[in-house]
Amino acid sequence: MIDAIGIVAFVVALLVSVTLHEGGHFLTARRFGMKASKFFVGFGPTLWSRTRGETEYGVKAIPAGGFVKIEGMTQLEEIAPVDLDRAFYRQPAPQRAVVLAAGSFMHFVLALIVIFIVVVAAGVPKLSQNTVGGTSCVPVTVSDSGPTSCVGTAAAPAKVAGIQPGDRVLSFDGAAVTSWTGFTSQVRDHGPGVATIVVRRGNQTLTLRPDLVAVKRDRATGGPGDDTVGALGIFQGTETIHYNVVTAVPQTFRIIGDGVTGTYDALVHRVGDLRNLFNNKRDPNGLVGVVGAARAGGELLSAQGQSVGDRIASFALLVAGVNLAVGLFNLLPLFPLDGGHLAVLGFEQLRQGLRRLRGYRGATQRVDLVKLLPATYAVVAVLVVVSVLVLSADIVNPIRINQ
């Protein structure tokens, strides 16, 4: 039930994002005197519409996007003679650039506002250097592809000894624990046998004595290897860092910076992962479609072991991340994306500037968009194929957040 609520909430958030995107185009076009004749949310058959002034507003049946029709977006369109002076392509280049970029700008603004609110209201989870996230099985060996098997069916030494999620490890065999990396190194170096761990649990300081088991690892890194080392069976926890409205500003931009880097990485370096969409090697940080993102939203809102506030915060950050990714993707210099229109506009102005340096004082020579149609069709075809592949993978081989 909660999964379904999360999916519906994500769809609603997506429609709000689409409306704001198109609203950016619409409001800036109207501000500069251009004629916007249609403003619709969705595609396909019209469910409802109403004309106010010179604009028809409406909702269509398929909630997968939206559009604003600005008269004269290209020279290829036929428009009424009375609207020629208000045609998009006849307006000054700076105004056209603002209108084209306004959609992505709205995504960025929405992402910034949502992230800022989450940072102030809920804080930001950060890997702790001494907090236990939980206990887990102890694989006998590990390989590059992951753990192979656990030691029989016995519980992890940490669980048997009474270590609990949220415990703060103060010392291991008398040595203070100051970093998780150092702690795990101490555990490996100890080898099998009883160790002494002092933890802080609430207002109590407890001394626990887990019986470490022997496993095969690389002693230095903890990765695949043939050294016999000790294992405890715990994983690193997180702690929430809280910010006020002032200190939240740089943290918000750091998160946005990480989001930009992640989006760039997904679009540039993870394209090859398309071949793994339908197997168990699918990259959880790779490409995901609307269905996959909606499913993730449902999982985040239904996550067990988290407070309602934490779940809502995680969901909000997902929505912010999607907006950031969509805004950046839309600025790629490819037709028919807004970034493609911006690239053509920039090329026209650059060429005009060079011609003026040579003494030319005539009108700006427009790019012949007919010559770009084959490239546009190719881009659309690629986008459709990739979208269908990702959509299919989201259905039959979804990325799971809550494992």
Pinpoint the alpha helices (H) of 209-286: 248-268
Residue with tokens 């060079």: 354
Angle at 369 between CA 365 and CA 372, to 5 degrees: 125
Which residues lie across from 126 on neighbouring strands?
Answer: 239
Query: Quick check: is 299 catalytic?
Result: no
Sheet containing 211-217: order of strands: 193-194, 211-217, 227-231
Number of C-beta neighbours around residue 14 at 10 A: 21
The DSSP 8-state label assigned to residue 40 in this structure reads E
| Cα–Cα dist 338/97, whole Å | 10
Here the tokens at position 295 are 């499913």
Q: Which of 22, 71, 77, 348 is labelled catalytic?
A: 22
Which residues lie across from 250 on neighbouring strands?
Answer: none
Number of C-beta neighbours around residue 303 at 10 A: 17
- As to burial, measured by CB atoms within 10 angstroms (0-12 exposed, 13-18 middle, 19+ buried), residue 308 is exposed
| Cα–Cα dist 278/270, whole Å | 15
E-strand stretches of 136-241: 142-143, 146-147, 168-172, 175-176, 193-194, 197-201, 204-208, 211-217, 227-231, 234-241
| Cα–Cα dist 41/29, whole Å | 17
Here the tokens at position 272 are 């090859």
| Cα–Cα dist 157/204, whole Å | 21
Residue with tokens 């649990």: 201
Here the tokens at position 1 are 């039930």
Catalytic residues: 22
